[in-house]
């Protein structure tokens, strides 16, 4: 997912589900390459998003995510 597509999707969610009101992040103890985000939006109950990171030539990038 490109940065522009991520931003477009996030802005669309802000409009339909409400803006992010709170978030937290923690490392998945079973997989240190995974960050689990807990996200709250004004019109939606808290949910989790799993971000998988990959080292690409010395630079860590988000390789995949299941929700924004």
pLDDT at 3: 86
pLDDT at 2: 81
pLDDT at 25: 97
- Alpha-carbon span 12 to 20, nearest angstrom: 12
pLDDT at 7: 93
* pLDDT lower than 70: segments of the chain: none
Write down the pTM of the prediction: 0.80
Domain that holds residue 48: 3-65
Q: What's the structural domain count of the chain? A: 1
pLDDT at 68: 87
pLDDT at 21: 97
* Angle CA 67–53–63, to nearest 5: 65
């Amino acid at each position: 997912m490109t940065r522009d597509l991520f931003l477009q999707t996030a802005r669309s969610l802000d409009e339909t589900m409400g803006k992010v009101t709170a978030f937290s992040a923690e490392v998945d103890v079973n997989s240190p390459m995974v960050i689990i985000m807990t996200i709250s939006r004004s019109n939606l109950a808290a949910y989790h998003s799993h971000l998988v990171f990959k080292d690409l030539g010395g630079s860590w990038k988000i390789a995949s995510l299941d929700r924004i």
